[in-house]
């Protein structure tokens, strides 16, 4: 499936509705609710079995997903702000709660559950600026330099903050 061309038009999310999806341990979609289909513009047939990055917007820095996957692969839940892209190229920002799903017998990670909601414009402005800076660094210096910048950004806030808690920490500072 060909990736859409991004357009500079935001999809306004309903603050009373959640976008929900589940993936297997490799990130392939195994469930999505009707609101996810509605907002993304993809049919259930297009989404099922597809990598969740089908909705990844090119404005998202790679370091965010690198650290996100490191965190959830280690068995830790995480919250993150993500800019996604719909099938028609429009975008939408979401606050996502990633939860690990484990096999009850073995304790092995078998997938991930994500529920998303809209976020405040104030927090979004901070995140958008940070992500733009990280993306700029990645394009010129690479992902490792972007990670170093992010770590220093968090340290400059006065605490030794883990990426897993970045969104909660940003809420505190702004």
Rounded average pLDDT over 50-72: 92
Within 10 angstroms of residue 134's Cβ, the number of other Cβ atoms is: 22
Q: Is the pLDDT of residue 107 over 80?
A: yes
Give the pLDDT confidence of 114-161 residue by residue, as tens digits.
887 878 888 888 889 999 999 999 999 999 999 999 888 877 766 555
Q: Which domains does the chain have, with CATH numbers?
A: 19-158+165-173 (3.30.450.20)
Rounded average pLDDT over 65-79: 87
Q: What is the pTM (predicted TM-score) of this model?
A: 0.86
Identify the pLDDT of residue 51: 95
Rounded average pLDDT over 1-25: 92
Identify the pLDDT of residue 174: 44
Identify the pLDDT of residue 173: 45
Identify the pLDDT of residue 159: 57
Instruction: Output the DSSP codes for the chain.
Output: -PPPPP-S-BPPPPTT--EEEEEETTSBEEEE-HHHHHHH---HHHHTTSBGGGGB-TTS-HHHHHHHHHHHHTT--EEEEEEEE-TTS-EEEEEEEEEEEE-TTT--EEEEEEEEE---HHHHHHHHHHHHHHHHHHHHH-HHHHHHHHHHHHHTTTS---GGGHHHHHHHH-
Identify the pLDDT of residue 10: 95
Q: Is the pLDDT of residue 43 over 90?
A: yes
Identify the pLDDT of residue 28: 96
Find which of 43-52, 68-77, 120-129, 150-159 is predicted with most confidence, using mean pLDDT.
43-52
The larger pLDDT score, comparing residue 63 to residue 174, is at 63
Within 10 angstroms of residue 145's Cβ, the number of other Cβ atoms is: 14
Q: What's the Cα-to-Cα distance from 69 to each of 32, 64, 83, 139, 158, rounded to whole Å?
A: 20, 9, 16, 21, 25
Cβ neighbourhood burial of 117 (10 Å; 0-12, 13-18, 19+): middle
Separation between Cα atoms, residue 148 and residue 112, nearest integer Å:
27
């Amino acid at each position: 499936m060909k990736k859409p061309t991004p357009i500079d038009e935001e999809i306004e999310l309903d603050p009373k509705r959640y976008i929900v999806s589940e993936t297997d341990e490799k990130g392939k979609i195994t469930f999505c609710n009707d609101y996810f289909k509605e907002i993304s513009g993809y049919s259930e047939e297009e989404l099922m079995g597809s990598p969740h990055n089908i909705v990844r917007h090119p404005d998202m820095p790679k370091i965010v997903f690198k650290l996100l996957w490191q965190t959830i692969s280690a068995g830790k839940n995480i919250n993150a702000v993500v800019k996604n892209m719909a099938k028609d190229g429009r975008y939408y920002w979401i606050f996502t709660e990633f939860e690990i799903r484990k096999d009850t017998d073995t304790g092995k990670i078998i997938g991930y559950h994500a529920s998303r909601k809209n976020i405040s414009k104030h927090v979004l402005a901070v995140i958008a600026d940070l992500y733009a800076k990280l993306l700029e660094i990645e394009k010129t210096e690479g992902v490792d330099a972007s990670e170093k910048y992010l770590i220093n950004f968090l340290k400059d806030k006065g605490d030794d903050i883990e990426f897993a808690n970045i969104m909660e920490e940003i809420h505190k500072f702004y």
